[in-house]
């Protein structure tokens, strides 16, 4: 079964991979920051699928913001 959170978080994760390879210097530190954002997306998926819609959305936005801050460096 595919839910809203499945689609959004997988899309965000694919965006992380693309951003890592195109917009960063590909160093280990950057990868670890993106890994943390990926973990936030996984947690957001589980939380959102459990029925906590607003908390899932907040976690997704937090993960996107965190990844964007480190991709711009």
Report residue 43 as tokens.
């947690």
Domain layout of the chain by residue ranges: 24-73
Angle (CA) 73 57 20, round 5°: 30
- Cβ contacts of 71 within 8 Å, gap of 6 or more: 19, 20, 23, 24, 34
User: Please, which pLDDT band fits residue 24 given cuts at 50, 70 and 90?
Assistant: confident
What is the residue-averaged pLDDT of the chain? Answer: 93
Are 59 and 47 in contact, with CB atoms under 8 Å apart? Answer: yes
pLDDT at 1 over 70: no
pTM of the predicted structure, to 2 decimals: 0.91
């Amino acid at each position: 079964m595919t839910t809203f959170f499945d689609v959004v978080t997988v899309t965000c994760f694919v965006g992380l991979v693309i951003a890592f390879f195109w917009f960063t210097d590909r160093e280990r530190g950057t990868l670890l920051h993106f890994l943390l954002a990926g973990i936030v997306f996984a947690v957001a998926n589980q939380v959102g699928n459990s029925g906590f819609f607003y908390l899932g959305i907040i976690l997704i936005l937090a993960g996107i913001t965190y990844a964007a801050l480190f991709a711009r460096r």
